[in-house]
Structure 1
């Protein structure tokens, strides 16, 4: 069995509360250390905050604020990856991204008319323009996982 000794894993469990956003930002700041390109770090931080906000406002809206959100970052020489697990109902992110891909292709599309969907529009842009792999799947333990994966240039 081959093991990648250069793979680094970081985890945070935090309450499903927007007041916890400062702690999420503080935790994520450790990855702005030159190990990954600054542009990738900014993209990742923005996606992390959007994902965390969506968990609190949507996936966990009917759950207690003490319901935990699990965050994980993996860093290797080949990639930078974030996983966000929630305990809400499943959401068809692919369908939403497909819909916004069609809508944003229309010349009359105005993102200001879609404030509640800015997160999906942002994730679509990360995927289309910046090469992020993005998925949202139901795990066997009935949690959902938002995966944000970026290959790093060697």
Structure 2
């Protein structure tokens, strides 16, 4: 997912190691997006999604790679949307299929998320998509990288 070239109100990028100890740096970097251009609720949703996405990269996508493998992050606010990008070097993963399956399972009244610990992050992303209007996509890019794109339209 290459970045759109619309006129940005705010844009920033960060590269960190694939290590959960980098979480404080990620949180501090993302604080700059708690600004007048975004509703606070949208920023909180985005921050939570960013942290979940970063954790998934470290624990799953990069679990077989060196902790020095880079994780690239970017976030953009333009006049229409808020976008968060997380790039990883992991294997191909069909997030859409997992989200579809979880959507069916969570529709069942007997679904217990505690039985799906390995998929809590995906359940959270599904809720963002289904209940809060976020676009969630995960695509393979050239150069054997994957991009998780989290996007929400800004409505005033």
Interval of TM-score (by shorter of Structure 1 and Structure 2):
over 0.9
The aligned residue for residue 144 of structure 2 is 142
- Residues 52-77 of structure 1, C-alpha deviations (whole Å, 9 max, x = no match): 00000000001111100000101112
RMSD: 1.1
Deviation at 1:140, TM superposition (A): 1.1
Residue 91 (1) aligns with residue 88 (2): no
The aligned residue for residue 64 of structure 1 is 66
Deviation at 1:6, TM superposition (A): 4.0
SS at match of 2:82: strand
Sort the Cα spacing of 1:70 and 1:105 in 2 relative to 1 into closer, same or farther, 3 A: same
Give the alignment's TM-score, normalised by structure 2: 0.94
SS at match of 1:9: strand
Aligned residue among 111, 119, 138 for 2:121: 119
Q: Which runs of 5+ in 1 are unaligned?
A: none
Deviation at 1:15, TM superposition (A): 0.4
Sort the Cα spacing of 1:5 and 1:16 in 2 relative to 1 into closer, same or farther, 3 A: same
CA contact (8 A) 2:7 2:78 kept: no
Q: Distance in 1 between matches of 2:86 and 2:8?
A: 22
Sort the Cα spacing of 1:116 and 1:55 in 2 relative to 1 into closer, same or farther, 3 A: same
- Residues 23-81 of structure 1, C-alpha deviations (whole Å, 9 max, x = no match): 00000011112220000001000000000000000000011111000001011121000
Give the count of matched residue pairs.
152
Q: Which runs of 5+ in 2 are unaligned?
A: none
Deviation at 1:90, TM superposition (A): 0.8
- Greater than 4 Å deviation, 4+ residue runs: none
Q: Distance in 2 between matches of 1:101 and 1:124?
A: 7
